[in-house]
Amino acid sequence: MKKTVSILIAILFVGFGFAQDEDKAKEILDKASAKMKGYSTLTIKFGLTIKTVDSDDPIKQNGTIQIKDGKYKLDMDDQEVYNDGKTITTFLEEDNECYTSEVDEADEDFISPEDLLTIWEDGYKFKYGGDTEYAKEKCDVIFLYPTNPKLSKFHTIKLLINQETNRVVWIHLKGKDGSKMTYKLLDLQRDLEMDDSTFKFNPAEHPGVECYDE
């Protein structure tokens, strides 16, 4: 009987601990969401590392993204991506080609760069993972897990959130196929002036470009 009571008490304390972790994580994430949504525009410089099961050599790229009202322009080492809210156009500089498709908000596999900054708001449960030091600053560690794993490409997402600024500074995504993606947010500028034409691909700026609809 004593053993049974001890086990029940242990289970209760474990459950209480998980609830505390979830509450603390939610408090931190709510602050991060409010911080991101408090800006009219964002310009973020980042580093991206991709590891796949097919190669021992990671793919490393740098990029800049400009965000405004659900629209964005993404500049990477070898391509540019424009989202004007209606269409997404990918321009491949080396091939001088562009591919345009309609924005499909119902696509479960698609995560826009803007969504990634507040990915925890829909379809994820979360857990507090303690704190750590990153880039000489104190950060909170948050783990995200999809509420419906069958519909997600990722089984775990790890975030580092700066304790002083409440900004996400590091994102690590683990794919169900064994792939891993790591974003390091290097610099953030807010509330800069951005014309809507920034988010629409202009073929006239790329003589000879071949464009295709998908």
Domain that holds residue 118: 2-80+108-192
Residue 202 belongs to some domain of the structure: no
Choose among 178, 187, 184: nearest CA to 53: 178
- d(CA 201, CA 73) in angstroms, rounded, equals 9
Q: Does 26 reside within a domain? A: yes
The one-letter amino acid code at 154 reads: F
- Which residues, including other chains, have CB under 8 Å from residue 17's CB and lie 6 or more apart? none
Question: 166 lies in a domain?
Answer: yes
Q: Quote the number of domains for the chain.
A: 1
Position 28 in a domain:
yes
Phi, psi of 123 (to 5 degrees): 85, 15
| Token pair for 1 | 């009987």
CATH of the domain at 49: 2.50.20.10
Looking at the domain assignment, is residue 21 inside a domain? yes
Cβ–Cβ < 8 Å for 125, 24: no
Beta carbons within 10 angstroms of residue 65's beta carbon = 21
User: What is the length of the chain?
Assistant: 214
Our CA angle for 171, 172, 177, nearest 5°, is 145
Nearest to 160 by CA among 119, 132, 187, 179: 132
pLDDT tens digits in sequence order for the chain, 214 residues long: 545 555 444 444 444 444 567 889 999 999 999 988 888 999 999 999 999 999 889 999 999 999 999 899 999 988 999 999 999 999 999 999 999 999 875 454 556 667 788 889 888 999 999 999 999 999 999 999 999 988 888 999 999 999 999 999 999 999 999 999 999 999 999 999 999 999 999 999 999 999 999 8
Quick check: helix, strand or coil at residue 153?
Answer: coil
In a domain, 186, yes or no: yes
The neighbouring-strand residues paired with 91 are 80, 98
DSSP-derived letter for residue 204 is G
Across-strand partners of 65? 44, 74
Q: Is the residue at 99 inside a domain?
A: no
Asked, for residue 92, whether it belongs to a domain, the answer is no
